[in-house]
Amino acid sequence: MNILLLEDDLILSAELCRFLESNNFNCDKIYDGETFLRQIKNNTYDLYLLDINVPKINGLDVCQTIRSFDKNTPIIIISAYGDISDKKDAFTRLADDYLVKPFQFEELFLRINSLLRRKTPSDAADQDIIRIDDLIINKTEQKIYRGGHEISLTLKEFQLLVYLAEAQGRTVSKQQITEHVWEHNFNTNTNTVEVYINFLRKKIDKDFKIKLIHTRSGFGYYLSPL
């Protein structure tokens, strides 16, 4: 399990990560909200720990930004602010839990495990979310995010992207795409598939260093960060 910690107290941050790693978690630590949001664009985490009073972008705004494109990854606020108004603000921004400093690390460990137990692969919500690098596909809401920004797609573009993503890096042929996305509603000798692949590349890949949509010459297309 991978945890990303937002905490600007260098000593507490180091101690927390050591404790979590001693309990078989991977822990990355970030000291300001701006860097934190850049970090989650290119990495996948199972849980976020957010202090509120941190430089550049505070933890509550970070929480709200995460929830704009990721409704499922658990978020625990860890803060010295213990007033009910502070807790209300955090839960209004869809944090999952709130722990007031100073706290026992063992209590944090119990709360983390409680949240992660609820987040299982069998959850219907998780089944409707596909994550590939910093690309997030919400099949239920038919929404696409990359690098934290929502991308607008037509219905066919969305269906094509989902089909490529569900292939999990395998190459799919033009024939397979026409069968599953268009259901043979056009002549496979046309360049419709190529045109829609180019549409997706302009929207999904053009503004990003890491390209996700690839062509395997003579075989078809695949979606992968590699």
pLDDT of residue 4: 96
Q: Residues 183-196: pLDDT tens digits?
A: 766 665 678 999 99
Contact 30, 57 (CB under 8 A): no
2-119: CATH topology: Rossmann fold (3.40.50)
3-state class (DSSP) for residue 104: coil
Residues whose CB falls within 8 Å of the CB of residue 9, separated by 6 or more in sequence, listed in order:
51
Domain ranges of the chain: 2-119, 126-223
Q: Residue 40's pLDDT is what?
A: 86
73 CB neighbour count, 10 Å cutoff: 19
- Topology of the domain comprising 126-223: Arc Repressor Mutant, subunit A (1.10.10)
Flag residues of the chain having pLDDT under 50: 121-125
Q: What is the pTM of this model?
A: 0.57
Cα separation of 151 and 157, whole Å?
A: 11
